[in-house]
Amino acid sequence: MQKTYSYPEFAYRQSEEQRLGRVKRHPVVIVGAGPIGLTAALECASRGIPAVLLDDNNTVSIGSRAVCYAKRALEIWDRLGVGEAMVRKGVSWQVGKVFFRDDLVYQFDLLPEQGHKMPAMINLQQYYLEEFLVEACGKSGLVDLRWKHKLISLSQEADHAKLTLETPDGIFQLEADWVIACDGANSDTRKMVGAGFTGQFFQDRFLIADVVMKADFPTERWFWFDPPFHRGQSVLLHRQCDNVWRIDFQLGWEADPVEEKKPEKVIPRIRAMLGQGVEFELEWVSVYQFACRRIDRFRYERVLFAGDAAHQVSPFGARGANTGVQDVDNLVWKLKLVLDGQAPATLLDSYDEERAFAADDNLLNSTRSTDFITPKSRGSRVLRDAALQLAQEGAFARKLVNSGRLSTPTPYVHSSLNTPDETSFAGAMVPGTNCADAPVKRRGERLWFLNQLPAGFALLVFAPEAPATEVRLGDIRAQVVCVGRDFSDAEGLLAQRYDGQPGTVYLLRPDRHVAARWRSFDPVRIRAALARACNLKEQA
Amino acid sequence: MTLRLEPNIPDPDGFYEELIGMQRDLDDEQAALFQARLLLVLANHIGDRAVLTQALQAARRAGATQQKI
């Protein structure tokens, strides 16, 4: 059906361990090679962990599915070396329009803050994203990507998990020190450990259609409430690359998903929306119902859940893949310290603490958007329509109109890994917050701050020199990076965003979150903060 | 700030007349929308989140007592 894309078919290979019938122990086994599993494998490779990545299929995502990738996820992919290619291929949009019935209610410009390498968001079909990730996994040399490997059972031992897999060559077993389950909203792994997955189901169905436009159409996001061509429901239109447009029709609960997917049903809907003159071809269609729910614990002994396997959100606000990538970003540096014996396994409980907190925040935002878009009672529909009517004239009411909020990262403000501030700082970079980017210069070359940070812990020092090149706690190192020596603060934005008065020191985690900060370089305090960030008792 | 529940409108009868008059020619749906718009305009004017929560609770409480009677 797809006209702009042909699916690669990845080769199944029998593993040596299956051929020899020898049970092998792996440090990390990842279940599910979707965007999150692939990112997890790349993240492991970037930290020197060999990873076995299993997928029961042998191609990328069928249909485009996830579309929007926000800045924070792009920054993580950039750290893994694939962000720039994604941005080049993807489409950026800035103008959004909101319609109510026959009228344009208002339009807005995202006007993203300047001085960041990555855009506020891009739209890109999920299959392209996965292709970039598969290619990078192949190049990493540390990812063992095994297609057509289906997990059929899992059991937990004291210090590892046993996995039974089915391949075209039959059934075999392998062992893993740690398992990262990225097998999606219907995760079998989740069922195998008996985890709870609860929340709210929305009694509504949506039709997603990807269409190829024959003529030019503006690169904008259009959202309709109760449009004349689709009365009583909502419709979303936005652009992906290759001139493919995503259209999202709210169908209501009574709609028959099989019937609605038929081209003879879909095409007239799209024609009514685009107008008679606009030529298009149907690329891909799907009908879905969504839920907002999350797993009760992100960690079940040796099994760690990430992405949709751990939390499922409504599609409004692009929170699915974006949060999943941040799960992986949070998890893998911790896993590396634990695997190397540098931190206790309890450090992994902070993964649950921090990412469950973020998941709840995402669920809250996602539920709020859903309640606005699909009101559950006459009373809430009247309030929504009133807000839309007011929005045409009153700027205040536009703030109430919620057609999905841009996904932004949730700072881990209450995390047990943070060291609280002892003095006051201005700005947003409180402990637990992800590092803001800024333009910097090195030997006259314009570069970006986030690209200057080391893979592990960093000590960002706002001074041309520091008393040490690193601070060590056992084998854990925090490498010093000096502003004014290693690079210069090209536009003063770094100092502005971090309140970087001369002498200020930030301890940054390997996932580029602020762990602690001070107004001077004190190795004793730094070691204590490092110990705290690794869940360690400080060693002398 | 706390929510003011003591009389605060100088001309209560005149205000009430104007409020009713404003929706006299509206059908039920239009009147409901009018009231919702009015509510949002006033809420924005007040702006104070704590006061708004108190107002929401006060409105809800009054209805609950009446339902019991």
- The predicted-structure confidence for A440-481, as pLDDT tens digits, reads as follows 999 999 999 999 999 999 999 999 999 999 999 999 999 999
User: What tens digit of pLDDT does each residue of A188-228 get?
Assistant: 999 999 999 998 877 788 899 999 987 777 888 899 999 99
Q: Which residue has the tokens 């305090």?
A: A525
pLDDT for the residue A540 = 42
Q: Which helix (H) or strand (E) holds B51?
A: helix B49-68
- The residue-averaged pLDDT of A159-170 equals 98
Interacting residues of A516 by C-beta distance below 8 A, sequence separation 6+: A418, A419, A431, A506, A507, A525, A526, A529, A532, A533
Answer yes or no: is pLDDT of A415 > 80.
yes
Closest by CA to A143, choosing from A267, A7, A39, A248, is A39
pLDDT for the residue A166 = 98
Q: Looking at the domain A16-89+121-198+292-367, which fold is it?
A: FAD/NAD(P)-binding domain (3.50.50)
State what percent of residues in chain A have pLDDT above 90: 76
How far is C-alpha A226 from the chain's CA centre?
31
pLDDT for the residue B65 = 66
Measure B6 CA to nearest chain A CA, in Å.
27
pLDDT class of A64 with cuts at 50, 70, 90: low
- The residue-averaged pLDDT of A16-29 equals 96
Answer yes or no: is pLDDT of A376 > 80.
yes
Measure A386 CA to nearest chain B CA, in Å.
5
Q: Domain A439-533 class?
A: alpha beta
Which chain B residue has the Cα nearest residue A385?
Answer: B33
Q: Which residues of A touch B41 (CB under 8 A)?
A: 390, 394
User: What tens digit of pLDDT does each residue of A92-134 get?
Assistant: 888 889 999 999 999 988 778 899 999 988 999 999 999 999 9
Predicted ipTM > 0.90: yes
Q: Which residues of A touch B32 (CB under 8 A)?
A: 378, 382
Question: Where in chain A are all domains bearing CATH 3.50.50.60?
Answer: 16-89+121-198+292-367
Assigned token pair, A111: 């006007």
pLDDT for the residue A538 = 63
pLDDT class of A313 with cuts at 50, 70, 90: confident
Closest by CA to A248, choosing from A240, A70, A405, is A240
Measure A223 CA to nearest chain B CA, in Å.
21
Measure A389 CA to nearest chain B CA, in Å.
8
Q: Which residues of A touch B44 (CB under 8 A)?
A: 394, 396-397
Burial code (b: 16+ CB inside 10 Å, e: under 16) for A9-23 equals: ebeeeebeebeeeee
Mean pLDDT of chain A: 93
Q: Distance between CA A394 and CA A388 in Å, rounded?
A: 10
Residue ranges of chain A whose CB lies within 8 Å of a chain B CB: 378, 382-383, 385-387, 389-390, 394, 396-397, 400
Q: Are A380 and A328 in contact (CB under 8 A)?
A: no
User: What tens digit of pLDDT does each residue of A76-99 get?
Assistant: 999 999 999 999 999 988 888 999
Answer yes or no: is pLDDT of A140 > 90.
yes
pLDDT for the residue B69 = 45
User: What tens digit of pLDDT does each residue of B50-67 get?
Assistant: 999 999 999 999 888 665
Answer yes or no: is pLDDT of A235 > 60.
yes
pLDDT for the residue A191 = 97
- The residue-averaged pLDDT of B5-34 equals 96
Question: Where in chain A are all domains bearing CATH 3.40.30.120?
Answer: 439-533
Assigned token pair, A230: 């689709």
Closest by CA to A179, choosing from A265, A72, A303, is A303
pLDDT class of A500 with cuts at 50, 70, 90: very high
Answer yes or no: is pLDDT of A380 > 70.
yes
Contact flag A385-B33 (C-beta cutoff 8 Å): yes
Q: Which of residues 18-57 of B touch A (CB under 8 A)?
A: 29, 32-33, 36-37, 39-41, 44
- Of the candidate ranges A71-75, A246-250, A285-289, A307-311, the one whose mean pLDDT is the lowest: A285-289
